[in-house]
Amino acid sequence: MKKIQSQKATRVRFSILAAIFINVVINYMDRSNISVAAPMITEEFHLSTIQLGYIFSAFGWTYALLQIPGGILTDRFGPRIIYTFSLILWSIVTVLQGFAKGFASLFGLRMAIGVFEAPSYPTNNRIVTSWFPNNERASAIGIYTSGQFIGLAFLTPALIALEHYAGWQGLFIITGIVGILWGIAWYFFYRDPADSSRANEAELNYIEEGGGLIDRKNTVKKIEPKAFQWNDLKEVFRHKKLWGIYLGQFAVGSTLWFFLTWFPTYLVKYRHIDFIKSGFLASLPFLSAFAGILLAGFLSDYMIRKGASMSVARKTPIIIGLLLTMSIIGANYVSSPGLIILFMCIAFFGNGFASITWVFVSTLAPKHLIGLTGGVFNFIGGFAGIIVPAAIGYIVTDSNFTPAIILIGVIGVLGALSYIFLVGKVERVKVSNQ
């Protein structure tokens, strides 16, 4: 029998956060391993820069297009089931990439990765919205989002070494097996707050009183799963403040996708940095982004606790971060590897600093449409994964990467402007039928 009045609150939510962090690390490992394999694959399959750009962007095509269905599935079936299937299936496809025979098969498999990873970030957001109160949510989002940066910072040299010893085929096979095993572990580990046998009533009350959306069984607060309605889709597209965060996410994604795809090729082919050395240099911007996202999350929540308005606390890091990404243009005007990496580090620090954008989905989305709003948010943002890698493939030449760098900087500024002029007051959107 639980003693609700006197019991000390458990801290199960932090073990849940650690598990999401691992999900994100594996997620981005399987998105970015293609960038590590690209130089070898290009040589073996005799790919042009345009073909390589299409392969880099193939993931983004299906990933973006299936964000909305992914959000709907998350709202309908919940994180435990959706993430298990998603993890295992995209990891199986990762293994199959090791058996690709040319441009067509590799392009198709990268599209399949996008299909099965599509529900991942709407699901991450759904979990954090359920497990964390408002005053911890930006920090939680910062911590799990940092997985995409810290994982790649340490994994990039490891993946390059793995490719060196196992070949590009072995790189895909081994990373895929890791994901399959973790997907099985997730199924047995994860439970929603109301279904958790480890979280006590004191922790659940703390989360709920702080704004966490716990789906309590047998209470009036329970939000019943509902069938998709076209009016729901209309609602998440018709609000200006939601469009502000959608366009901002496109800007954040543009810088990220440059680093996930073209960055190693940029260092090796265009800046003529040794392949093995480039692995360690390439890790430094990811470490900078890791520092940026953690700092942004903790700073934003600190400002909330100190009495700052939601608008100031949440928007300030994102706007500053997006403006900092413009520093990437400085790399066009230096030749020293150290200075090139310095400008890349500043730009990617800014990208990390701006990457708490998911907190706006939790804060602005209608309560019953958090998964769908997250799907649309990542749908618009996901176009960066389509447009940016392919556009770079078209605008660069064999000797000139300058236009691509300028493109990334300009998009960052436009993203900052969307938060300044479109988002407005930070408050939950009210829909007509609620």
CA 402 to chain centre: 26
pTM metric for this prediction: 0.71
> Using H for helix, E for strand and C for coil, what is the string for 41-105?
HHHHHCCCHHHHHHHHHHHHHHHHHCHHHHHHHHHHHCHHHHHHHHHHHHHHHHHHHCCCCCHHH
Dig out the tokens for 189 from the structure. 């580990």
Whole-number Å distance between alpha carbons of 203 and 135: 14
Whole-number Å distance between alpha carbons of 91 and 407: 32
Domains of the chain plus CATH, in order, are 12-211+223-423 (1.20.1250.20)
Whole-number Å distance between alpha carbons of 276 and 278: 5
Q: Are 206 and 343 in contact (CB under 8 A)?
A: no
Q: Are 415 and 250 in contact (CB under 8 A)?
A: yes
SS3 223: coil
Please, what is the Cα angle at 242 between 238 and 247, to 5 degrees? 110
| Closest alpha carbon to 278 in 110, 146, 163, 150 | 163
Q: Are 353 and 285 in contact (CB under 8 A)?
A: no
SS3 399: coil
Per-residue pLDDT of the chain (434 residues; tens, 9 = 90+): 444 445 788 888 899 999 999 999 898 888 778 878 888 888 888 888 788 878 888 887 888 788 778 777 877 788 888 899 999 999 999 999 989 888 888 999 999 998 998 888 778 888 888 888 877 887 888 788 778 777 666 777 778 888 888 888 888 999 999 999 999 999 999 988 888 888 888 888 888 887 666 765 544 344 444 555 667 667 777 778 888 888 988 998 898 888 877 887 788 777 777 655 656 777 788 888 888 888 888 888 888 788 777 778 888 888 999 999 999 999 888 888 788 889 989 999 999 888 877 777 777 777 667 667 777 887 888 788 788 888 888 888 777 888 889 999 999 999 999 888 887 776 676 766 55
Q: Are 241 and 162 in contact (CB under 8 A)?
A: no
Straight-line distance from the first to the last Cα atom of the chain, in angstroms, rounded to the nearest whole number:
37
The amino acid that residue 345 corresponds to is C
CA 25 to chain centre: 10
